[in-house]
């Protein structure tokens, strides 16, 4: 709540599409806080969450992989009246969301959370290894985190640009061989080591912002 309160000072709730969160971010106080701040949400809830005297997984036990289902009426979830929708992943995991949005819009929003997971992964063990730092001083941590974010965005910027004219290979399972961040990181490292003549053009690219969503020839960003 402290982090959201700080964010609201810079980005008022009226400018939010909504908040998407996983099962760790549930509870009466949290849900009440979001309502009072005017923040719409699509939050995954645990299978054992009680909805109208039944566990959530009992309401959706017959759902098949790839199928979607919504409770006919809104119900109380941690003291707040919410729509509850569910699906089952190809791996068999039951995904249940308490939401303020329609069914289709809920899943469109929740699928974007995967980009957030990929971002965290590339900042931590699969990328910049940020969590291995021994720094404990808050000010120094803030500076370190800021530098890592700048480096991450730089890699993403180059990766997006590179992918527009040399797309990343898609493997048999349908996923890209590497992420856009990794793609850009490899190009930057190569330029710093072996292709110094390419650096000026890359630096110019890094000072060029991403195109706004919906703009002509907009670059597609999917981590």
In a domain, 220, yes or no: no
Q: Which residue among 94, 111, 128 closes a domain?
A: 111
Q: Do 153 and 77 share a structural domain?
A: no
Q: Do 47 and 81 share a structural domain?
A: yes
CA distance 43 to 26: 8
Q: How far apart are the first and last CA of the chain?
A: 27
Using pLDDT thresholds of 50, 70 and 90, give the confidence band for residue 99. Answer: very high
CA distance 173 to 168: 14
Q: What is the pLDDT of residues 114-154, one digit of tens each?
A: 778 778 888 887 788 888 888 888 889 889 989 999 999 99
In a domain, 217, yes or no: no
Residue 175 Cα distances to 163, 169, 180, angstroms: 14, 9, 12
Q: Is the four-CA dihedral 59, 65, 70, 72 of positive or negative sign?
A: negative
Q: Do 93 and 119 share a structural domain?
A: no
CA distance 201 to 34: 45
In a domain, 216, yes or no: no
Q: Do 173 and 137 share a structural domain?
A: yes
In a domain, 57, yes or no: yes
pLDDT computed for residue 214 by the predictor: 57
Residues 6 or more apart whose CB falls under 8 angstroms from that of 140 comprise none
Please name the helix (run of DSSP H) or strand (run of DSSP E) that holds residue 139, with its range, or none. Answer: helix 138-165
In a domain, 37, yes or no: yes
Q: Do 56 and 147 share a structural domain?
A: no
CA distance 99 to 155: 34
Residue 35 Cα distances to 9, 167, 179, 197, angstroms: 17, 42, 36, 54
Q: Do 90 and 184 share a structural domain?
A: no
Q: Do 59 and 86 share a structural domain?
A: yes
> Does the pLDDT at position 215 exceed 70?
no
In a domain, 213, yes or no: no
Q: Do 97 and 23 share a structural domain?
A: yes
Q: Do 121 and 202 share a structural domain?
A: yes
In a domain, 104, yes or no: yes
- Number of structural domains in the chain: 2
In a domain, 12, yes or no: yes
Q: Do 120 and 57 share a structural domain?
A: no
Q: Which domain holds residue 181?
A: 115-206
pLDDT computed for residue 78 by the predictor: 94
**Using an 8 Å Cβ cutoff, are 178 and 168 in contact?**
yes
If you average pLDDT over every residue of the chain, what do you get? 86
Is the pTM higher than 0.75? The answer reads no
């Amino acid at each position: 709540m402290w982090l959201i309160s700080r964010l609201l000072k810079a980005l008022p709730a009226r400018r939010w599409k909504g908040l998407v969160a996983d099962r760790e971010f549930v509870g009466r106080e949290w849900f009440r806080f979001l309502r009072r701040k005017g923040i719409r949400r699509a939050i995954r809830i645990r299978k054992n969450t009680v909805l109208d005297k039944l566990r959530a997984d009992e309401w959706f036990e017959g759902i098949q992989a790839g199928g979607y289902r919504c409770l006919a009426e809104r119900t109380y979830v941690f003291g707040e009246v919410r729509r509850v929708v569910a699906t089952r992943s190809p791996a068999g995991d039951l995904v249940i969301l308490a939401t303020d949005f329609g069914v289709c819009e809920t899943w469109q929003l929740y699928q974007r959370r995967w980009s957030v997971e990929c971002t965290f992964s590339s900042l931590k063990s699969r990328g910049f290894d940020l969590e291995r730092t021994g720094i404990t001083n808050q000010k120094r941590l803030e500076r370190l985190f800021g530098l890592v974010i700048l480096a991450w965005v730089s890699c993403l910027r180059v990766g997006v640009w590179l992918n527009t004219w040399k797309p990343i290979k898609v493997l048999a399972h349908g996923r890209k061989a590497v992420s856009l961040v990794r793609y850009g990181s490899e190009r930057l490292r190569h330029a710093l080591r072996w292709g110094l003549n390419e650096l000026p053009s890359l630096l110019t690219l890094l000072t060029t912002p991403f195109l706004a969503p919906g703009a002509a020839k907009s670059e597609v960003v999917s981590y």
